[in-house]
Amino acid sequence: MVLQSHYIDRLEGTLIVPGDKSISHRAAILGGLAQGTTQVSNFLCSEDCLNTLKAMEQLGAKVDVLESRDGYGPTKFNISGVSMHPTAPTKPIDCGNSGTGMRLMAGMLAACPFDSEMFGDESLCSRPMGRIMEPLAAMGAKIDAKGAKAGCAPLYIHGGSIHPIDYILPMASAQVKSAVLLAGMFAQGTTSVTQPAITRDHTERLFKHFQIPCQVNGLKVSIDGPVLPLARNLAIPADISSAAFWLVAAATRPGSVLTLPLVGLNDTRCAVIQALQRMGADISIETTSGEDEGEPYGTITVRGSAQLHGTELLVEEIPNLIDEIPILAVAGALAQGEMVIRNAKELRVKETDRIDTTARNLRLMGAEVEEFEDGMIVCGGAQLKGAELQSYGDHRIAMSFLVAGMSAEGTTTLHNTACINTSYPGFSQDLAQMLR
Ligand code: S3P
């Protein structure tokens, strides 16, 4: 599928972006494991999250759809959980494009008393799974990675009894942290994970939501197993990673006023807002969630600025804006001065090598980029030119460069954009609304 964008002078109006991807995966998994029925609303009906929901059905959870988005899938449903006793799947579990789905569910499946198999698309089958296999093996799991590339999916999991560990996480990854904690839900005793830096804490928050005792002490997270999550209805906020495309589109255009309601404002996800504010973006936030709601959310209003300037992303910010780096690099190209992105080697093992794919597309649009093993420096200020670009099958690359095209001379054409459905169903309609 091909999508195009072109120059516009400003953006106005209100956009409600879809539900949070990270929270949707976890809602399906924990709702599916819980005792009782959880009503989930504003679920992200993207291919990634729907695969996780289908996997939970394969494991015995029952899903009754209450509302759907035409052509995509359910956004509101009741999920009746298996009370921590999943049933053996009768066929391999398809995780599609999703590292989160595969890594989190591997943690759960490692602890289940049956064999299972997980596979994914070409991109997922080239991403490193050793990072979850190592701690899960230390917990007693037997997992074989049978992919063409060493340490990659398909994964064969010989599940069974798991014992707790005290794990020092070698990389700042919420997926690995969550895989270990999900396995820890089944283990007898305290499972702990110590992170090298704060990573997104949706698993910990959802544990609390489902009344699972979980302690957070600085960088260390612990769970006392075995646990029984108790069903409790859950409304998922809009995804700040999806909102980020529009934040950049509006912030870089004087005269723009864009309102984004109900966006998740979890501290461990808001670094993109801070980075844009340091660049001179006019962004205001009104928190509208109640005191006791597990995930804070609110309305973000962004007003276009005459000229943004580059910034250096802080080392401690990197894990909390990792998914927004492609669009922040685009913001850097539209700003004055240099945008410095370092300490972000993890970008090389995302849906694509995002240092390479971001730099490549920026250069094709006329920006100067210096590439490093762990990041890039984007030289801002050059007038971007419309170009024929590839998404390389990466949803965030596709959306970032359609937004870049809104500031470029001429037309920008993005090839292979079906991947956008892995995180933002309806993006092309929202883009069309903004380009009108
Ligand atoms: C995610 C964690 C991050 C992020 C991904 C979603 C999650 O990955 O890039 O899109 O939901 O836990 P890592 O854990 O690999 O950093």
Q: From ligand 1's centre to the CA of 172, what distance in Å?
A: 9
283 and 397 housed in the same domain: yes
199 and 295 housed in the same domain: no
216 and 278 housed in the same domain: no
In whole angstroms, what is the distance from residue 220 CA to residue 334 CA?
Answer: 39
* 43-96 confidence digits (pLDDT tens): 999 999 999 999 999 999 999 999 999 999 999 999 999 999 999 999 999 999
Ligand 1 atom nearest residue 171's Cα = 16
201 and 279 housed in the same domain: no
195 and 79 housed in the same domain: yes
207 and 191 housed in the same domain: yes
Q: Are 267 and 298 in contact (CB under 8 A)?
A: no
DSSP letter string, 54-110: HHHHHTT-EEEEEEEETTTEEEEEEEE--TT-PPPPSS-EE-TT-HHHHHHHHHHHH
212 and 127 housed in the same domain: yes
49 and 169 housed in the same domain: yes
Q: How far is CA 184 from CA 127, 163, 174, 370, in A?
A: 24, 8, 15, 42
pLDDT at 167 exceeding the cut of 80: yes
In DSSP terms, 41 is beta-bridged to 235
Confidence of residue 173 (pLDDT cuts 50, 70, 90): very high
Q: From ligand 1's centre to the CA of 290, what distance in Å?
A: 26
Cβ-based neighbours of 217, under 8 Å, separated by 6 or more: none
Q: Which of 323, 353, 374, 394 is catalytic?
A: 323
Q: Which of 198, 216, 235 is the last residue of a domain?
A: 235
The bridge status of strand 166-168 relative to strand 189-194 is parallel
* 111-149 confidence digits (pLDDT tens): 999 999 999 999 999 999 999 999 999 999 999 999 999
Q: Which of 186, 202, 235 is the last residue of a domain?
A: 235
Q: 48 an active-site residue?
A: no
Q: Which of 235, 264, 294 is the last residue of a domain?
A: 235
DSSP letter string, 148-205: SSTT-SSEEEE-------EEE-SS--HHHHHHHHHHHTTSSEEEEEE-SS----HHHH
Q: Domain count for the chain, please give it.
A: 2
User: What are the pocket residues of ligand 1 if the criterion is a CB atom closer than 6 Å to any ligand atom?
Assistant: 22, 100, 173-175, 178, 200, 322-323, 346
Three-class secondary structure of residue 337 per DSSP: coil
Q: What is the average pLDDT score of the chain? A: 97
Full domain range(s) for residue 305 = 3-17+237-435
Edge-to-edge strand list for the sheet holding 115-119: 93-94, 115-119, 155-158, 142-145
Where does residue 172 fall: left (phi above 0), alpha (psi -120 to 50 degrees), or beta otherwise?
A: beta
Name the residue with the closest Cα to ligand 1, atom 4: 323
The bridge status of strand 12-14 relative to strand 257-264 is parallel
Ligand 1 atom nearest residue 241's Cα = 10
pLDDT at 290: 86
pLDDT at 292 exceeding the cut of 80: no
* 345-363 confidence digits (pLDDT tens): 999 999 999 999 999 999 9
Q: From ligand 1's centre to the CA of 306, what distance in Å?
A: 33
Q: From ligand 1's centre to the CA of 319, what distance in Å?
A: 9
Length of the chain: 436
**CA-only gyration radius of the chain, Å:** 21
295 and 336 housed in the same domain: yes
Name the residue with the closest Cα to ligand 1, atom 9: 323
- We report the CATH number of the domain holding residue 363 as 3.65.10.10
pLDDT at 123: 97
51 and 181 housed in the same domain: yes
